[in-house]
Amino acid sequence: MSTVGRFVIVVLFDGVDLLDVTGPPEVFALLRRELGEPSGYRVALAAETMDPVTTSAGVRILPDTTFQDVAGCGIDTLLVPGSVEVDDEGRVRALADPAVVDRVRSLAATARRVASVCVGAHILADAGLLNGRRATTHWSTARQLADEHPSIEVDADPIFIRDRDVWTGAGISACLDLSLALVAEDFGEAVALRVARQLVMYLKRPGGQSQFSVPLEPVSTTRRIEDLRHHITRNIAEPLTVADLAEQAHVGERQLTRIFKTELGMTPAAYIESARVEVARNRLESTDDTLERVATVCGFHTTDTLVRAFRRRLDTTPTEYRNRFRATGTG
């Protein structure tokens, strides 16, 4: 095996998500092309044995090496992908095989840094690598991660989070964003930008852009809340106070707040603001509306309120967001 480049180990196990495994190596391979020399990273897929590993997509992958063989070999980056199961009712749950957790814990002890892809954060958590840290994972399993590991500060919104030498990524496609961030840390943003161009991606989504849009959040189990969500969307330009929503749902304000926190993990006011930011994002991407117009039709009423909401939710401004994500040919 070549000794050129930073040594990256991708953990393999049966049921692993295929894109979690293949996405980062593609980014690292493009780095080698951009540098024009056999440097950058050398990637190896490691498993318990050299037998083929069957991914969640049914595609079989051959490991390059075993966990035993790479132990103590100077791992620069340990990449941990994830795996999920879906029950008969469509609920998603992250999996963490104890044997894999033990191997990750052992390998992480000698790696310069550790990064999880998507629900791989649950493996890091079970290995004790996220205790006292801030971390993210796919939005569908964020509540599971928080419930099972109260010592972790789980933030389901960012695409990726770095907490010292541990990185966690969100949805499956966010593995590309995470990989680009690793390239930027190791080789500089100018090089990472060249790789991003090859991928037809932005080097950084502004401010760790939210990994999901409000309309794509999990459907609640309460018909009343679903009706309220549709009511909010239909009347997004209106004041939409908590008192108005409570009256619409025929419950008290405190009860409404409890229901929202249980079903959607946020207060009614926070959900309303998230919904308005989502509508504003769409308008900034697809229209030439002035910021004043966007603020009005989305219920913010003033540009100052619009700007403050964008800074809270996306850590960027509406103008920067439009410059990054506005589609061409809009009008």
pLDDT in tens, 61-76: 999 999 999 998 899 9
Q: Report, as an integer, the average pLDDT of 104-118.
A: 96
Reported as a single tens digit per residue, the pLDDT across 27-64 is 999 988 888 766 789 999 999 999 999 999 999 999 99
Between β-strands 134-135 and 160-163, what pairing exists: parallel, antiparallel or unpaired? unpaired
Q: Report, as an integer, the average pLDDT of 161-178.
A: 87
Q: Supply 177's token pair.
A: 């964003």
**For residues 165 and 151, what is the distance between their CA atoms, to the nearest angstrom?**
18
Q: Report, as an integer, the average pLDDT of 169-183.
A: 84
Q: Is the pLDDT of residue 289 over 80?
A: yes
Helix, strand, coil content of the chain in percent (nearest 5):
50, 15, 40
The pLDDT, as a whole number, for residue 222 is 60
- Asked about 175 being catalytic, the answer comes back as no
CA contacts within 13 A on the Cβ side of 185: 16
Q: Which range scores top for mean pLDDT: 82-86, 153-157, 189-193, 201-205? A: 82-86
The pLDDT, as a whole number, for residue 296 is 96
Share the mean pLDDT of the chain.
86
Exactly one of 73, 118, 175, 298 is catalytic; which is it?
118
Q: Is the pLDDT of residue 328 over 70?
A: no
What is the DSSP secondary structure assignment for residue 232, as one 8-state letter? H
Q: Which range scores top for mean pLDDT: 198-202, 316-320, 323-327? A: 316-320
Q: Report, as an integer, the average pLDDT of 83-96.
A: 86
For tokens 């966010």, what's the residue? 174
**For residues 116 and 129, what is the distance between their CA atoms, to the nearest angstrom?**
11
The pLDDT, as a whole number, for residue 175 is 85
Between β-strands 41-47 and 6-11, what pairing exists: parallel, antiparallel or unpaired? parallel
Helix ranges (H only) for 36-173 are 67-70, 98-108, 121-126, 142-148
> What predicted TM-score, i.e. pTM, was given to this entire model?
0.66
The pLDDT, as a whole number, for residue 276 is 93
Q: Which range scores top for mean pLDDT: 150-159, 173-182, 295-304? A: 295-304
The pLDDT, as a whole number, for residue 79 is 97
Q: Is the pLDDT of residue 160 over 90?
A: no
Q: Is the pLDDT of residue 331 over 50?
A: no
Sign of CA dihedral 129, 130, 136, 140: positive
